[in-house]
Structure formats: C-alpha cells, structure tokens
Structure 1
Amino acid sequence: MGMRINAELPLPADLKAEYPLSDKIIKIKEKRDAEIRDIFTGKSDKFIVIVGPCSADNEDAVCEYVNRLARVNEKVSDRLMIIPRIYTNKPRTTGEGYKGMLHQPDPDKAPDLLAGIIAIRKMHIRAIEETGLTAADEMLYPENRSYLDDILSYEAIGARSVENQQHRLTASGMNIPIGMKNPTSGDFLVMLNSVIAAQHSHSFIYRGMDVTTDGNDLAHVILRGGVDKYGTCNPNYHYEDLVRLLSLYQKMELKNPAAIIDANHSNSNKKFKEQIRITSEVLHSRSYNPELKKLIKGVMIESYLEEGNQKICPDMIYGKSITDPCLGWEDTERLIYEIAEKC
C-alpha cells in the first residue's frame, strides 16, 4: 500500500482520561442536552442559533468569541438556545488546503494529528469552563468523533458526507441531535434518507468493534442550498422550499420532524452579509405558517470576531476566518437580538 504509519494515536478512552471533564462540565452538558432535546421534541419553543466561525482555527480567538456569545446569551436565554459553532474539521472539495485544527493545530505549520486531537479537546473544554456553553462540531470523520463524544451537544453531517453509509450508521448511535445537510446537489430525498437511516438501529464495524446502535430519534435535516450542474447556487430557504420540506416530512414516518436553516454556504452563495437577510426571511416564513414554526427549529450562522476571511500568512488578523467568509461580531450581536425579538 502507498501508506506509511507516522504515529500510533491514543485510544479515545486514554485521551479522555488524560484530559477529563470536571463534574461541573458534566452537569452543564447534561442540563443543556436536556434543554436541546426538549426543543427538538416540541416540549420547548425556544429557537436554536448555532453560530460561530467557519473553522475554529485559534483557541484564544474562539474562546474570546464564545465568551462574547455567553454575555449575549444572558439576555436572550429565555427565547433562544445559543450553541457555539466550534468546527475543528474542514472538508475540502479537492482535498487540498487547510483541513482544520484536528489536522493542523497551527495553521501555518505541517499537519500533526496527535497534537491536533489534544488541541481540539482542550479548546472545547476551555470554552465550556469559561462560558457554560456546550458546542456543535461537524462529524467529518466518524471514528474521530470518539475523542469529543462526551463534550458535544450537537453535531452536523456535511453536504459531502451525507450519503456516506458510515456517517449514517454512526449517527444512529448518538444521543444528541445530529443534523443531516442536503447534499451539494440540493436533493431533499437524499438528505431525508439519511435521517431515516440515522433514526433506525444498525449493526456494523466501528473502531474495530462489532456494534449495534439504538437509533437516534433527534436526527433531522439542515438546508444549506445546492449547486446545479452549471455551478449555479440554488438556495432552499425560501417559503416554497420550506413548505415542500414540510410536505415530505408529513409523508414519512419520522420521529421529531425538525429542520435547521444554514444561512451561509449555497444559500448565500458565500456572500456572508446575506446571512442577515436570509435569517430574517426564515423568521418571517415561520411567523406566517404555524406548521413551519413547529418544523423550523433554528438557524446556522457563520460568524467570527472580524468579518470576511483571509489567507493563511505570517501576519494573520486575529479572529478573522481563514476558510469561508464570516459575519463580524457587531453584525452578529445585532442579529442575535433581532432573532430573539422575532422568533
């Protein structure tokens, strides 16, 4: 095989023992997980806001951002469930370029996966310790999630991974909400088939073990827009798209129908400022149609300390995205207060 072993990585259980969760963090996560479950099962009408950098590339900047979110959360927690977006893996369309903190804890240095898995665990723990907010991450590599599965309160499966069988089966063994994005084609049925798979029990091989899962009743969809064969972005956050999704859900025997609307990616054509307008339209659609208000549980927004993005270089701006462009903090804070008023 054209493959060489660079290092043998620690087992997830060993890494967790070396960097354990305090009793305080365990209680915080239990409480937030229960609150989030109540939203997806319809017991709570709080609106979810999953918000944060496109990629979590710097521990200090990410934790400063989450601390700012926590201060806003104190004012809106009666209406919103704010879930920081701390994404430590980045899918690359061609496989080239920065793949996230898991691969490169220092973006301008060579990949170091051992340092990476330690860095992402420490960053997530620090964020909870400082703010009391448990976070969301993307399950880009199913086996890697075992290093964080005791920390996260929400996970997403991306557009490039949603058709992958290992992702679907692994999702069926989670006890937190897992959002299935529509594929890059925009196909709703592929996305919903992933939800069906995740909500059922399966037996398969996971990390060298024969496992059987219980099924995840909180598996749901994330609309992120699609791209046609000509490379044109086709958004799917409009009222007609949401009604179509509602109709499809009504025809399927799925538990806890729910959708999160990703305001960036192909919904905004990566025009990050459009996230403000898109979020406003989603809220209007919910207020117009009571059935949509039950279905649309929240939004996903890409935001960081500084707006826009930058290339990896020796003089990078602190708190500015090195992957997709993000809303800046001032716009984000105003948007969160607006969401709290309108949801």
Structure 2
Amino acid sequence: MQMKFIKKLPIPMEIKEQFPVSEKVKQIRETRLKEMEDIFTGKDDRLLLIIGPCSADNEESVMDYTYRLADMQDKVKDRIMIVPRIYTNKPRTTGEGYKGMVHQPDPEKKPDMLEGIISIRKLHTRAVEETEMICADEMLYPENHKYLSDILGYVAVGARSVENQQHRLTASGVGIPVGMKNPTSGDLTVMMNSITAAQSQHTFLYRGWEVQSEGNPFAHAILRGLVNRHGQNRQNYHYEDLIRLYELYQERDLANPSVVVDCNHSNSCKQYLEQIRISKEVLHSCRHSAEVKSLVKGLMIESYIEDGNQKIGEGIYGKSITDPCLGWEKTERLIYDLADQL
C-alpha cells in the first residue's frame, strides 16, 4: 500500500474510559434530546436553530461564542431551541486546506489525530456541561462517530457524503436526529433515498464488527442549495422548493417528514450576509402554507464572533478560518427577529 502507517489510535471505548462524561452531561443530553425529538414529531412547535461557526478552530473562542448562544437561548426558549454548531470535521472539496480540529487541534501546527480526538471530545463535553445545550457536528467520518456518540445531540451528513452507503447505514443506528443534505447536484431523489435508508433497519460492517441498526425515525432532509452543470450556485429554499419536498415526502412512507433549511452554502451563493434574508423568507413561506409549516422544523446558519473569514495565521479572535460567517451583533439581532416572527 502507498500509505505510511503512523500510529494505532485508541478505540472509542478507551477514549471514553479515559475522558468520561459526568452524570450531569448525561442528564442534560437526555432532556435536550427529548425536546429535539418533540420538535421533529410536531409535539413541540418551536423552531430548531442549528447555528455556529463553519468550523470549530479554537476551544476558547468556540466556548465564548457558545456561552453567548446560551444567554440567547434563555431569552427565546419559548419559541426557539438553539443547537450550537461545533463542527470539528471539515470536508474539503479538493482535499486541501484545514480539515478541522479532529485533524489539527491547532490550525497552525501539523496534524495530530490522537490529540485531535481528545480535543474534540473535551470541547463537546465542555459545551454541554457548561451551557446545558446539546450540540451538532458533521458526520464526515462514520467510523469516528463513536468517539462522540455519548455527547452529541445532532449530526449532519454532508452533500458529498449523502450517497455513501456507510454514512447512510451508520445514520440508521446513531440514535439521534440526523440531517441528510441534498447532494451538490441538487438531486432530491438521492436525498430522499438516503433518508429512507437511514430510517430503515440494517445489518452491516462497522469498525470491524457485524452490527444491526434499529433505523432512525428522526433522519430528515437538509436543503443546502446546489451547483448546476455550469458550476453555478442555485437555491432550493424557496416556497416552490419546500412544496416540492413536501410532495416527495407524501410519496414515501417515512416517519416525521421534516426539513432543516441550510441558509448558507449554495443557498446563499456563499454570500454569508444573505443568510439573514433567507431565514426570514423561509419563515414567511411557513406562514403562507400549513403544509410548509408542518415540514420546516429548523434553520441552519453559519455564525461566529466576527463577520467574514480570515486566513490561518492572521490571528483575529473569533473569526472563521474557513467559510465566512455572520458576526455576533448580526447574529443576536437575527435570533431576536426570528423569534418575533414565530
């Protein structure tokens, strides 16, 4: 093989034994998971707001940001359930660039996967224990999910992974809500097939074991926009898109028909300020149609302390080193505006 084997990493059980979660974290997670599940089943009519940096790059600035979200959560808790995005696995279109804390706990140093696994477990644990919110991450590597499986409250399967069999089968057995994004091509059939697979029972190979999953009734759609054959970004958050998705759900026997609208990426044409307008348009569509309102369970927004983004090494505290994000002042105003519209 044309690979250099660097070191054997501890299995998830060993990491969990070395860095266990407290009873407080277990209880918070159980309580918040029930709240989130009630949103997806329709028992709770609050809006799910999955919000945070494009990629978690620094423990202290991410925790600073998450504390701010916790303060906002207390103010809008009757209308919005906030789920911090702490994305520690960053997909790269060409494979180049910062791949997230799991690869590089310090973006300015060389990759260290063991230190990365420990760092992301500590960060996610801190977030739950200190803010009493459960957090979201991207399931970029299905085999790595077990390192955080007792902490996470939500995972997303990205546009480049959603057609992958291992992602679909793993999603069927994680026991928490999983958002399946539409692929970059925009083919909603691919996304719907992925949701169907994730909601079904399977026997498959996982981390060297033969395993059986129960099926995940909280697997759902994420609309994130698309890129057409000419390489141009196109949106799929409009009223007509949401109605079409509602109709696709009606054609299938799926539990808890739901969508979370990703307001950035191709939906915003990577113009991060557009997230403000897009999120409000989605809520307007919900007010216009009972079908759309029953389908839309949440929004996904990329936000950090400072507006925009920076290159690695510039050293601006709380500013994204990957995709540009809304800064805190705009984020705070947006959360209040969304709550007022609900």
1:63 deviation in Å?
Answer: 0.3
Distance across 2 between alignment mates of 1:199 and 1:73: 30
SS in 1 for 2:271: coil
1:340 deviation in Å?
Answer: 1.0
1:42 deviation in Å?
Answer: 1.1
Is 1:102 matched up with 2:91?
no
Q: C-alpha deviations, 1:156-206, integer Å up to 9, x for none?
A: 000000000000000000211000000000111100000000000011100
Is 1:9 matched up with 2:34?
no
1:330 deviation in Å?
Answer: 0.4
1:128 deviation in Å?
Answer: 1.3
| Alignment map for 1:260-339 (pairs within 5 Å) | 260-313=260-313, 315-339=314-338
1:129 deviation in Å?
Answer: 1.7
SS in 2 for 1:309: coil
SS in 2 for 1:306: coil
2:28 maps to: 28
Distance across 2 between alignment mates of 1:2 and 1:246: 47
Distance across 2 between alignment mates of 1:246 and 1:119: 40
Q: C-alpha deviations, 1:31-66, integer Å up to 9, x for none?
A: 000000011011110110000000000000000000
2:46 maps to: 46
1:115 maps to: 115
1:130 deviation in Å?
Answer: 1.5
2:87 maps to: 87
The one-letter amino acid of 1:195's match is I
Distance across 2 between alignment mates of 1:129 and 1:209: 32
1:266 deviation in Å?
Answer: 0.1
Is 1:174 matched up with 2:168?
no
1:148 maps to: 148
Distance across 1 between alignment mates of 2:15 and 2:83: 25
Q: C-alpha deviations, 1:64-88, integer Å up to 9, x for none?
A: 0000000011011111110000000
The one-letter amino acid of 2:141's match is Y
The one-letter amino acid of 2:80's match is L
1:194 maps to: 194
Unaligned runs of 5+ in 1: none
1:127 deviation in Å?
Answer: 1.1
Distance across 2 between alignment mates of 1:129 and 1:29: 9
Distance across 1 between alignment mates of 2:336 and 2:192: 32
Answer with 113-122 or 5-14: which moved more: 5-14
2:241 maps to: 241
Distance across 2 between alignment mates of 1:86 and 1:49: 13
Distance across 1 between alignment mates of 2:204 and 2:3: 25
Distance across 2 between alignment mates of 1:32 and 1:6: 39
SS in 2 for 1:173: coil
Distance across 1 between alignment mates of 2:86 and 2:214: 27
Deviant stretches of 4+, over 2 Å: none
Answer with 299-308 or 125-134: which moved more: 125-134
The one-letter amino acid of 1:89's match is N
Distance across 2 between alignment mates of 1:333 and 1:7: 44
Distance across 2 between alignment mates of 1:218 and 1:24: 24
1:14 deviation in Å?
Answer: 0.8
The one-letter amino acid of 1:29's match is R
1:209 deviation in Å?
Answer: 0.1
Distance across 2 between alignment mates of 1:171 and 1:93: 22
SS in 1 for 2:307: strand
State the TM-score, normalized to the length of structure 1: 0.99
2:75 maps to: 75
The one-letter amino acid of 2:205's match is I
Distance across 1 between alignment mates of 2:46 and 2:70: 17
Q: C-alpha deviations, 1:204-223, integer Å up to 9, x for none?
A: 10000000100000000000
CA-atom RMSD in angstroms: 0.6
Unaligned runs of 5+ in 2: none
How many residues were matched structurally?
A: 342
The one-letter amino acid of 1:240's match is E
% identical equivalent positions: 63
1:342 maps to: 341
Q: C-alpha deviations, 1:216-237, integer Å up to 9, x for none?
A: 0000000000000111111000
